[in-house]
Structure 1
Amino acid sequence: MSAALLPDTPRAGFCGIGKMGEPMALRLLAAGHALSVWNRSADKLTHLQEQGAQVSGSPERLAAQCDVVMLCLGDAQAVEEVVFGEHGLACAANAPRILLDHSTIAPDATRRFAQRWHERTGGMWIDAPVSGGTAGAAAGTLAIMCGGEPAAIAAVEPVLRAYASRVTRMGATGAGQATKLANQAIVVTTIAGIAEACVLAQRAGIDAAAMPTALQGGWADSVLLQTLLPRMLTPPANPSGTIRTMLKDLDAVAQLAHDSHAPLRAVGEVRKLLQEAVGQGRGEDDISQIVRVLLDQAVSPSC
């Protein structure tokens, strides 16, 4: 059934060449896929063009020459504009059979977009947010959680394997986004816990830089601990993920929790911490820098 949805060698398109999109697109090229790319800032496409990608002048032009298109955009508004706006993907006379959205947006927005896409083009929409960060994108080890028709997901999985080691169907349209928001709840609360542990260690006179090694292999060990605690001590020059982006995701988590009647106490407190960081002008800082809010906080005895 999946073979009928896409040709054996589907023509791929990618919209959104940012911190995540660029390494994902490079992996597609390295795997030998014919790839067309579009980005709002065209200067970001030079390197991909040098590697063999075909640059399109608009999403509409890209869509007309692709069987499957991937999106990796900042928010739901950007997704709507690229897909349904002037010269958007849906304007193409022969739109792609399958659209995959790697962006992180709310499940209800995904379901609305999927319905509009099918009504406009007859095509299928897969919500396919990713986890693994820029390092996972470059290494081809991303985890992708999908919502959509099983046949459509099966048809695109060989393409996704260029940058993912795990592709899992979680349910109908929107299920991939709901899973990603649950993922973000785990990730951001863990980062906040690491930040608090970092501050606790420093104020207790411990060398916090030694903690990743000391805790390695124990229950507190994780990729996040090994990656982010050093960044808390020495801020990175280039953020891999910003506080503002994480707050956007937690806003979506909060809305999903409200709609689902799910109490999320820890997530609510971490969301306040991120809001405080943004209020202090740290929105474009690396997510590790939420530690600054805690470090700058005046010490006041509880009793």
Structure 2
Amino acid sequence: MKIGFCGLGRMGQPMVRRLLGAGYQVSIWNRSKDKALALLEAGASWCDTPAQMAQQCEAVFLCVFDAQAVHDTVLGEQGLATVQGALQIVVDHSSISPRATREMAAQLQQRCGADWLDAPVSGGVGGAEQGTLAIMVGGQAAQLERVRPALAAYSQRVTLMGAVGAGQVTKLCNQTIVATTLTAIAEALSLANDNGVDASKISEALGGGWADSVLLQLFVPRMTQRDNQVKASVDTMLKDLNTVAELASASHTSMPVAHAAQQSYRVAHRLGLGEQDVARITHVNSYNYGE
């Protein structure tokens, strides 16, 4: 299977590298070609437009920022759906709303007959680099089995959750848990600091107890050591929390904890931290709400 990949950001680049390492022929496209140069040197081939990619690739994977970017890539003027070519499956790793996913999947099928798998991922940049991502999928089982070997290049778990859109719902559940947990960890570290306890030792002290988690062990060092490396941005998390709120409103789901976390990320954005790592959510605790 010849694969196309659109979107070469923090997640897309290591995913493409692992596909190349697994022996796949990979054609790539990105709005800015400069992000593709290292991957071209590694053996990928360039497509000038998504439409060109659809002419020669049976499966095209997407990993772009939001629903508008997915729409432009698939249904835009030079999008995947504008040609009748080799394309049979679109696999969308982006995190967008289930409603937008279902609408675009229907339009794709109508325009060029290709199927859609929404396949958002969890595990961050490290998971993509190490091939340990968790992928939650919405779509047809038969289509998933066709691309499962390719997904195995950068994942350790692939779970079919239901029809198109179910993968995105599951990712929003994931983001609800992650965002609220990170907010709670940030508050706990502030409580430690404000009371004369070395916050950097919290993960060691709580390891193995009921408060322990992967997030606790990963983020206490990131929150206390002030590492400037951005692995997932505040604005990306805020985007997903906004989508959680939209879905919860549509389904009349009460989510007071997620709503509180969303407000913290909004404050972080207003503080100018949008492009910084989500670990900087700790800054919200020192913000003077009266100013």
Shorter-chain TM band: over 0.9
User: Alpha-carbon deviations, 1:62-107, whole Å to 9, x = none?
Assistant: 1111010000000000000011111111123304100000000000
* TM alignment of 1:131-146, pairs within 5 A: 131-146=122-137
| Partner residue of 1:261 out of 252, 255, 266 | 252
SS in 2 for 1:37: strand
What's 1:7 paired with? none
* TM alignment of 1:38-57, pairs within 5 A: 38-57=29-48
Letter in 1 for 2:23: G
Q: Please identify, of 223-232 and 244-253, the stretch whose mean Cα deviation from structure 2 is larger.
A: 223-232
How far apart, in 1, do the equivalents of 2:170 and 2:285 lie?
29
Letter in 2 for 1:62: M
| 2:135 is the alignment partner of 1:112 | no
| Partner residue of 1:23 out of 14, 37, 46 | 14
How far apart, in 2, do the equivalents of 1:32 and 1:221 lie?
38
- 1:218 offset after TM fit, Å? 1.6
User: Alpha-carbon deviations, 1:85-135, whole Å to 9, x = none?
Assistant: 111111233041000000000000000000000001111000000000000
Letter in 2 for 1:94: G
What are the ranges of 5 or more consecutive residues in structure 2 without an aligned counterpart?
none
What's 2:204 paired with? 213
What's 2:220 paired with? 229
SS in 2 for 1:13: strand
User: Alpha-carbon deviations, 1:7-38, whole Å to 9, x = none?
Assistant: xxx00010000000000000000000011001
Q: Is the 8 A contact 1:95 1:123 kept in 2?
A: no
User: Alpha-carbon deviations, 1:226-247, whole Å to 9, x = none?
Assistant: 1111111222222111111111
Q: Please identify, of 164-173 and 235-244, the stretch whose mean Cα deviation from structure 2 is larger.
A: 235-244
What are the ranges of 5 or more consecutive residues in structure 1 without an aligned counterpart?
1-9
What's 2:74 paired with? 83
How far apart, in 1, do the equivalents of 2:94 and 2:276 lie?
20
Q: Is the 8 A contact 1:89 1:95 kept in 2?
A: no
| Partner residue of 2:171 out of 175, 180, 200 | 180
- Residues matched between the structures, number: 290
How far apart, in 1, do the equivalents of 2:289 and 2:8 lie?
41
* TM alignment of 1:145-184, pairs within 5 A: 145-184=136-175
Letter in 2 for 1:120: R
Question: What is the TM-score with the length of structure 1 in the denominator?
Answer: 0.93
Letter in 2 for 1:109: A
Q: Is the 8 A contact 1:235 1:286 kept in 2?
A: no
SS in 2 for 1:206: coil
| Partner residue of 1:194 out of 181, 185, 202 | 185
- 1:296 offset after TM fit, Å? 3.5
Q: Please identify, of 98-107 and 233-242, the stretch whose mean Cα deviation from structure 2 is larger.
A: 233-242
SS in 2 for 1:114: helix
User: Alpha-carbon deviations, 1:237-279, whole Å to 9, x = none?
Assistant: 2211111111110000001111111100100001111111111
| Partner residue of 2:112 out of 121, 135, 154 | 121
Letter in 2 for 1:44: K
What's 2:4 paired with? 13
Question: What is the TM-score with the length of structure 2 in the denominator?
Answer: 0.97
